[in-house]
Structure 1
Amino acid sequence: MQTPEFWKSRGFISTFLLPLSGFYYLGSILRQKLSNPIKLDVPVICVGNLTAGGSGKTPITLALADTLKKAGKNPHIVSRGYGGEQEGPLRVSPSHHSAHDVGDEPLMMALASSQSTPIWISKNRVNGAKAAIKDGADIILLDDGFQNPSLQKDLSILVVDNKIGFSNGRLIPSGPLREPIHNGLKRADAVFVIKQPNDTINEELSDVFTGKEVSSVIITPADETCLSRLINKKVFAFAGIGYPQKFYDTLANLAVDVCETKDFPDHHRYTEGDLNKILSLAKEMGAGAIFTTEKDFVKIPDKFKEAISYLPIRAVWDNPQFINSLLSKLTGTT
């Protein structure tokens, strides 16, 4: 879905939908209260958020996997595989699976990690985690599993975008929240705030996170050479993510001349018609390059990939000592 504009403020439409948010609240409370989480034989780290739409969970999940591997662990990432048709449990193989099979984010993670970190998809998180353990995982990383109560978590991390925050602070459908902020924070062991290199953490967010372990994370290009293709060129950018403006802001912060943008709904499946339209619009605007996100690029047919580039990104810890300390109890290292 495309992120509704009315989620940004508490206007008429948001207020009109508040009664439906009440039903959503009751459903989320009952789901947590009636659950009986299963305890696994290996630690489970959950990376999630409180809002619908992208907040930066995927690059953080991959960065945590790299940090754990450097500590001598063998983490496997388990995802629901949103948007994919396979039920799982299934280990993602970029050479055999498409985004249509396993979902765009799991396929993107598998490509980004070059299979150094196994990625699993499973509609049933318990079955997915057990399959990963059978395959040798000694730590499970749950990608976007914060509201899923089926597994007992040993460490729960909330990811929040410094600029977007919690938008209007209301529950779905009148706002983006999957659950009330105070409820989510009670279950969180730490909060990671995604921000730009020179920004400080939003004061309003700092007040909300009082008493919680908080660290900032910076999202940077994973491949600096790709930026050389953007120098002195007008760039047409498009994205089908929760908050496309985040991608455009990233390009702008890299001094890229973005001449035009085109938004698509989150997890959008691109048709040839969509892509031909993009090529036509870029030509009309005199763009010298067309860029999108990694998540979008994995869904583009090969015949269009020569004309479209993507910006690979990675998460960089603002405070590596904090991360190492947070993980030390699970890794047995100091």
Structure 2
Amino acid sequence: MNRRLEDCMLAAWSGRGGLSTLLLPLSWLYGRLSARRLRAQARGAWKAPVPVVIIGNILVGGTGKTPVTIAICQALKARGWRPGIVSRGYGVAIGPQARLSDGGGDASRLGDEPALIHAATGAPLAVHPRRALAAAALLASHPEVDVLIADDGLQHTALARDLEIIVQDGRGVGNGRLLPAGPLREPPARLAQADWLLTHLAHGETSPTPPPGCAPDARRMIVMRLQPESATHLASGRTLPWADWRAEQGAASCSAAAGIGRPERFFAMLRATGVVLSQTLRIPDHQAIPADALRALPPGPVLITPKDAVKCVRPHDPRLWVVRATPVFSKPGWLDDLDRALRAAASGRTAPPPPGHPPAPGNRRNQPA
């Protein structure tokens, strides 16, 4: 979706105006067809021999799933787990077989977000639109994996899950309507089924209030904010802690470019640390930053996201600096709770049939509402 169309739809989805109301009949149809598809997938869901954590959203557009996936993977590794990642591989033609990171971690092979996750965590990764197929291939190739993290897998119920983490942002549920009259893939009540609801907020944003009955227990509602941790000069690989980069480069006139779901969130994070941006460049999500657009930016450092960096083609523009951010959670102890829940799920696990066979009965995640 190009930025102009996206901006138009976001404006329509911010309220229940004429365009949104006009699209309501299509939303009702979408809701019925989507619910039917999710139920059909869940009836044949494959239950992996290891616990599965699903990270997803019900709101279209970037909500911050990638940094959450990276943070969870790193936290689980620190607690003794050997995680593996499965993802769709958006924008890449995968073919009938799952594609593994063993063959190379380039964005051209895996997709930009999976490539970034693999580079940041070092965890083995498999991509395929059929998440169960990706999970089975990953476990066959990496039998040491003892927990699976499914990036952007909430609406892929063919892979049974033990825990669900829904990520939203400051928009909350928007106007509360399903696509295309609103920004939702599933009804707002879906939030209440999550094991944790993470709200990714930009600088200055406050947490949205979920509709009544549409959120999990308050103890499982977490606020996440990103803060810069370091900056890496893309051409040379030189990395500086963020404070050192600010001391060395921060007084220069800077620009920023981002091809992510919500570029403004990246720009706001930079400005919150005192960086003065002379110009910003918004690129459609998943697209590479055009070279001619970079050349048009004024002289000085150009700050980009890691997701954009994995798509940059050598030789790199010498002005590019990659800003790596770390999430700060309002309740850091939630990761210990996640660890305990996974250990409980792992106990008594038995080997499943291959994907496509009927699942074992009784999995509470096999039948979505």
TM-score (norm 1): 0.88
TM-superposed CA distance for 1:121, in Å, is 1.2
What runs of 5+ residues in structure 2 fail to find an aligned partner? 231-240, 347-369
**Are residue 192 (structure 1) and residue 201 (structure 2) matched?**
no
Answer yes or no: is the 8 Å Cα contact 1:106–1:119 preserved in 2. yes
Residue 291 (structure 1) aligns with: 303
Residue 46 (structure 1) aligns with: 54
Q: Distance between the aligned counterparts of 2:206 and 2:14, measured in 1? A: 21
- Which is further off, 67-76 or 12-21? 12-21
Residue 275 (structure 1) aligns with: 291
Q: Distance between the aligned counterparts of 2:225 and 2:211, measured in 1? A: 16
**Are residue 321 (structure 1) and residue 330 (structure 2) matched?**
no
Answer yes or no: is the 8 Å Cα contact 1:85–1:100 preserved in 2. no
**Are residue 86 (structure 1) and residue 94 (structure 2) matched?**
yes
Change (3 A) 1:145 1:228: farther
What stretches of structure 1 move > 6 A for 4+ residues in a row? none
Q: Distance between the aligned counterparts of 1:15 and 1:197, measured in 2? A: 32
Q: Distance between the aligned counterparts of 2:74 and 2:212, measured in 1? A: 28
Answer yes or no: is the 8 Å Cα contact 2:192–2:215 preserved in 1. no
Residue 85 (structure 2) aligns with: 77
Q: Distance between the aligned counterparts of 1:206 and 1:67, measured in 2? A: 32
State the Cα deviation string for residues 9-44 of structure 1 (Å, max 9, x = none).
Answer: 333322222222222111211012222211111100
Instruction: Choose 1 or 2 for highest CA Rg.
Output: 2
Structure 2 residue corresponding to 1:155, chosen from 136, 152, 163 = 163
Counting aligned pairs with the same residue, the percent is 31
Give the secondary-structure state (helix, strand or coil) at the position aligned to 1:320: coil
Q: Distance between the aligned counterparts of 1:176 and 1:304, measured in 2? A: 36
Q: Distance between the aligned counterparts of 2:74 and 2:106, measured in 1? A: 24
Answer yes or no: is the 8 Å Cα contact 1:55–1:159 preserved in 2. yes
Structure 1 residue corresponding to 2:322, chosen from 289, 305, 310 = 310
TM-superposed CA distance for 1:308, in Å, is 1.8
Answer yes or no: is the 8 Å Cα contact 2:128–2:134 preserved in 1. yes
One-letter amino acid of the structure 1 residue matched with residue 152 of structure 2: D
Change (3 A) 1:196 1:13: closer
State the Cα deviation string for residues 179-216 of structure 1 (Å, max 9, x = none).
Answer: 1111x224311111223578653445798426352122
Answer yes or no: is the 8 Å Cα contact 1:85–1:102 preserved in 2. no
Structure 2 residue corresponding to 1:232, chosen from 239, 246, 251 = 251
Residue 177 (structure 2) aligns with: 170
Q: Distance between the aligned counterparts of 2:216 and 2:160, measured in 1? A: 25
How does 1:4-153 map onto structure 2 within 5 Å?
4-5=9-10, 6-35=12-41, 36=43, 37-87=45-95, 88-92=97-101, 96-113=104-121, 115=122, 117-134=123-140, 135=142, 136-153=144-161
Q: Distance between the aligned counterparts of 2:79 and 2:324, measured in 1? A: 25
Give the secondary-structure state (helix, strand or coil) at the position aligned to 1:24: helix
TM-superposed CA distance for 1:46, in Å, is 0.4
Give the secondary-structure state (helix, strand or coil) at the position aligned to 1:38: coil
Give the secondary-structure state (helix, strand or coil) at the position aligned to 1:309: strand
Answer yes or no: is the 8 Å Cα contact 2:90–2:111 preserved in 1. yes
Q: Distance between the aligned counterparts of 1:85 and 1:20, measured in 2? A: 29
Change (3 A) 1:256 1:190: same
Q: Distance between the aligned counterparts of 1:317 and 1:166, measured in 2? A: 21
What runs of 5+ residues in structure 1 fail to find an aligned partner? none
TM-score (norm 2): 0.80
Answer yes or no: is the 8 Å Cα contact 1:68–1:331 preserved in 2. no
Change (3 A) 1:200 1:164: closer
Aligned length: 321
Give the secondary-structure state (helix, strand or coil) at the position aligned to 1:319: coil
- Which is further off, 151-160 or 227-236? 227-236
TM-superposed CA distance for 1:228, in Å, is 4.3
Structure 2 residue corresponding to 1:250, chosen from 269, 285, 290 = 269
- Over the aligned positions, Cα root-mean-square deviation in angstroms equals 2.4
Q: Distance between the aligned counterparts of 2:130 and 2:216, measured in 1? A: 34
